[in-house]
Amino acid sequence: MTERRIGPFILGRQIGAGGMGIVYLATHIETGKEVAVKVLPPALSEDEKLLKRFEREIGILKRLKHPNIVKYYGGGTHQGQRWYAMEYIDGGSLHDILKKRKRLTWDQAIQVGRQLTAALEQAHNAGIIHRDLKPGNLFITKKGRIKLGDFGIARDTEATALTAAGKTVGTYAYMAPEQIHGNAPISGKTDLYATGCLLYELLVGETPFVSSNPAEMLMMHLNDYPYNLHEKNVECPLALDQLVERLLQKNQEDRPFDALAVNTELEHILKSGEESVAHILPEALHSAGASASVFVSVDPATGDVTVKKKKKKKDHSQFYEKTWFLLVFLGLLIAVAVWLSLPAGEDALYISAKEAMSTSDPVTHFDARSHYLRPYLQRFPQGKYAGEMQSWLDDVEVSLIEAQLERRVRRPDAGRNRYETTCLKAMRAALDADRNKLESLETFQALIESLPPDDAAQANAAEVEVADGKTTSEDDAAADVISVPRFWKTIAEKNRDSGKQALLSDPDRSKIITARMTTANQLLMDGKTHEAQQIFHLFREIFYGEKELENWLDYAKFRLHGDVVDMPAQLEP
């Protein structure tokens, strides 16, 4: 068989094809190096529009030189055929990994995200928006490096083919709202939305929106909000969940500033997560000669993705000078010190928890929940720090519920129990410009009054958090958390109080109160006495002791008792 040459390359087997040309595995004649060569057939070269796109693709590749972007090696024209050579990636694509693994761990997903955003930073700085990020366009070398490409290695027909894993339609699964309706210019934040979709898929095992109908999927991107990572039972830091949520915002302005900001945040989340589970201080390891450098390794045959420490050069020093000996000795010293100074582990858990909760970092708080707070209360339910540890745990649990509420309130979801149903009703009323602002406050106040007394709530929580002395799974714990009445009381009180302060400072507060009292009076006229009395009662409970509303509080009191009185003429702001 005659060898087919093009430029300085011998063409081998075809590895890709599509509307923008054919891609071959090729070998450089002089060096034997394998590359990918993309060729534009003569028939397509006659299409001026396609030829310009091909030339533009070459121009983009020339400008992008980055370790996480497929390299450009040069191009030319051979017997009327335009071609160019680029780096051949030998480890398959991220799409291949997901087909084998379904999903990655949170730290592995962060490593992928960091390499992707590093590539995007380079591209965006060069004025280039990728616009087609997806697992099939992220290639992986055998050494585990991610390479961003969009140059025909993956078949162009994938853009319209169903993927078996997610039942999604090609790039529609990663398309930002502005790409769909065109009401805003495409920008680097368009790629950030796709990055959010991709990270979501790596962590959950499916894209944020799943449908076999292209039109339905596009409408989901425009109008729906996906379940967050913790609602999908993904074990990851809360900060990663929140970052993915921001990446998936419909409005570009609500997404992170740029790819560099995302990369920096991912690095911080990764470091915070690693530090929270470390048993020896990083400073101590460093002083002993240990290296914290790691890299991601991917096995293309099995799809396994692992984080490995970089190998060190051999040294021929005495055994007592070697790093392993220093680490073992240091570990023994630390173990002895801990054993001598921390009786039965109770003090150790408290000290670690106190250090974590003294920060303002929600990632650290969330990790403290699993590593210190819950273990302490399970092992030492009557311990000397139990009250303080329970208070910290409550704060973390409430923050987690609040984060979930913020997501669910924007979707038509029903609550998972009556507490959440009531809170969602109140929050949606507050967001509705056509509703009286007092309606939201009344709903929160009614929820507060319906909850059991604090002592009963505490007893219920104790049963939830320490059941037969066994440690519950994260999934079971998450389900239990939303059933604790005192958490909902805290959330309702916070929302009621903030809403009350907003109304007190509202220059139209007199009109707002007048309108609500008018509604209550109309209910009385319609024979709906209970509903009317609830409005008067809840108003008095919400604003009890507010001197500037004294006239209205008296009015509500009289009307509650059935007395006929005139409304206050005017309320000074």
Q: What is the pLDDT of residue 409?
A: 83
306 beta partners: 297
3-state class (DSSP) for residue 303: coil
Output phi, psi for 139, to 5 deg.
-100, 155
Say if residues 116 and 148 touch (Cβ distance below 8 Å).
yes
> Which range is least confidently modeled, 235-249, 383-397, 432-446, 452-466?
452-466
Q: What is the band of 363 on the pLDDT scale with cuts at 50, 70, 90? A: low
Q: In what order do the strands lie in the sheet with 21-28?
A: 4-6, 9-18, 21-28, 34-40, 81-87, 72-78
What's the rounded Cα separation, in Å, for the pair 376 and 353? 9
Condensed to tens digits (0 to 9), the pLDDT of residues 227-259 reads 888 888 888 888 899 999 999 999 888 999 899
Do the beta carbons of residue 71 and residue 65 sit within 8 Å?
A: yes
* Residue 315 neighbours by CB under 8 Å, 6+ apart: 322
Label residue 268 left, alpha or beta by phi (over 0 means left) and psi (-120 to 50 means alpha): alpha
The C-alpha atoms of residue 266 and residue 189 are separated, in whole angstroms, by 16
Is residue 435 predicted with pLDDT exceeding 90?
Answer: yes
The third-level CATH classification (topology) of the domain covering 94-274 is Transferase(Phosphotransferase); domain 1 (1.10.510)
The yes-or-no verdict on residue 553 having pLDDT over 80 is yes
Please state, in angstroms and rounded to a whole number, the distance separating the CA atoms of residues 296 and 22: 31
Alpha helices in 126-258 (DSSP H): 177-181, 188-204, 214-223, 238-247
Give yes or no for residue 522 having a pLDDT over 90. yes
Residues 6+ apart with CB under 8 A from 239: 265, 268, 269, 272, 361, 362, 363, 366
Give the pLDDT of residue 322: 54
Residue 539 near residue 571, CB atoms below 8 Å: no
pLDDT at 334: 63
pLDDT for residue 324: 58
Beta strands in 105-232 (DSSP E): 138-140, 146-148
Q: What are the two backbone dihedrals, phi and then psi, of residue 496, each rounded to the nearest 5 degrees?
A: -65, -45
CATH architecture assignment, domain 4-87: 2-Layer Sandwich (3.30)
Q: Where in the chain is the domain with CATH 1.10.510.10?
A: 94-274
Mean pLDDT for the stretch of residues 423-434: 92
pLDDT for 282 beyond 70: no
Q: How confident is the model at residue 470, as a pLDDT?
A: 40
Determine the pLDDT at residue 279.
36
Condensed to tens digits (0 to 9), the pLDDT of residues 72-115 reads 888 888 877 888 998 888 888 888 888 888 889 999 999 999 99
More confident residue, 554 or 284: 554
* pLDDT of 454: 60
pLDDT of residue 155: 31
| Whether the Cβ atoms of residue 225 and residue 216 lie closer than 8 Å to each other | no
What distance in Å separates the CA atoms of residue 287 and residue 322, rounded to the nearest whole number? Answer: 13
| 225 contacts: CB under 8 Å, gap ≥ 6 | 248, 407, 410, 411
- In this predicted structure, the answer to whether residue 203 has a pLDDT above a threshold of 80 is yes
Min mean pLDDT across 177-191, 198-212, 422-436 is at: 177-191
pLDDT per residue over 4-44, tens digit each?
888 888 998 888 776 677 888 999 988 889 998 888 877 77
Separation between Cα atoms, residue 464 and residue 417, nearest integer Å: 16
**Residue 327 pLDDT class (50, 70, 90 cuts):** low
Show the tokens assigned to 430: 């507050």
What is the enclosing helix (H) or strand (E) of 398? Answer: helix 386-408
As a whole number, mean pLDDT of residues 183-199 equals 88
- CATH 3.30.200.20-classified regions of the chain: 4-87
Contacts of 205 (CB under 8 A, 6+ apart): 98, 102, 103, 165
Q: What does the pLDDT read at residue 404?
A: 79
For residues 457 and 352, the model is more confident at 352
DSSP label of 101: H
For the chain, the average pLDDT equals 78
Give pLDDT, residue 323. Answer: 60
Give me the mean pLDDT over the 127-135 stretch. Answer: 86
Checking if the pLDDT of 361 tops 70, the result is yes
* % of the chain residues with pLDDT over 70: 76
Q: Mean pLDDT, to the nearest integer, of 348-368?
A: 83
**Catalytic entry in 47, 90, 132, 156:** 132
Q: Is the pLDDT of residue 266 over 90?
A: yes
| Residues ≥6 apart with Cβ < 8 Å to 165 | 98, 99, 102, 205, 206
Q: Is the pLDDT of residue 141 over 60?
A: yes
CB-based contacts of 398-402 (< 8 A; 24+ apart in sequence): 398/487, 398/490, 398/491, 399/238, 399/362, 399/365, 400/230, 400/238, 400/366, 400/481, 401/481, 401/482, 401/487, 401/488, 401/491, 402/491
Residue 152: pLDDT above 50?
no
Q: In 3-state terms, the chain is what percent helix, strand and coil (to 5)?
A: 55, 10, 35
Please tell me the predicted confidence (pLDDT) of residue 369: 83
| Secondary structure (H, E, C), 366-377 | HHHHHHHHHHHH
pLDDT of residue 472: 42
- Looking at per-residue pLDDT, the higher value among 117 and 320 belongs to 117
Residue 395 corresponds to which tokens in the numbers above? Answer: 């704060």
Q: Do residues 365 and 396 make contact, with C-beta atoms less than 8 angstroms apart?
A: yes
300-318 tens-digit pLDDT: 444 444 444 444 444 444 5
d(CA 69, CA 61): 9
132 is a catalytic site residue: yes
